[in-house]
Chain A
């Protein structure tokens, strides 16, 4: 299994541009998450999904959109990039949300810079 894969690894955007960060998992996990990690900080949840067709906001959703058309894929969309969105973005997945199965598996991250 490849686990959680993310593309691209790095990206530089100009203010106002848009892009989609891709995330795919091959573990048949129901739950998927998008986090951002600012320098020296912990991860903050942007959006999450509990299954195909179902998404919900996390702690810092403004400026982002997501969709979940399949179990495997959970893309994150930035419509109008702003410097405040410069961060490292991690996608994660888990079997369920609670108890001993809540271990989240993380992808390698996408480093995004908005200039």
Chain B
């Protein structure tokens, strides 16, 4: 089965709100995590990544938090915009792995 999953299949927010998308993983050996954004009809696009020796990493309007104790990953999007509407996937791998393992995805809908 999948080692990475997301808590909610859909999330609806208003423009300007902050969005939080959650992900749980089960493989304690995983040491590298990535968030991808997939817009309709397109391939996944890299957003931000984090290694297991970090708890937090910030990008432009996005922050990823990693809680290794409970094996939980979250993506925070500040001041969500309509252009953020997409499906968001978390993915994980470990040093001995060869490819990413993807969760099912959360569909973020942003209304104006």
Contacts and interface: CB of A to CB of B under 8 A. Distances in A.
Interface residues of B, number: 25
B70 interface: no
Contacts of A92: 43
Interface of A: 4, 33, 35, 40-45, 48, 50, 56, 58, 90, 92, 97-100, 102-109
Given A40-B9, A92-B43, 14 more contacts: A40-B105, A42-B91, A42-B103, A42-B104, A45-B99, A50-B98, A58-B99, A97-B93, A97-B97, A98-B97, A103-B34, A106-B43, A107-B43, A108-B42
Interface of B: 2, 4, 9, 32, 34, 41-46, 49, 51, 89, 91, 93, 95, 97-100, 102-105
30 contacts: A33-B99, A35-B102, A40-B105, A42-B89, A42-B103, A42-B104, A43-B44, A43-B89, A44-B102, A45-B99, A48-B98, A50-B98, A58-B99, A90-B44, A97-B93, A97-B97, A97-B98, A100-B49, A100-B51, A102-B49, A102-B93, A103-B49, A104-B44, A104-B46, A104-B100, A106-B43, A106-B44, A107-B43, A108-B42, A109-B43
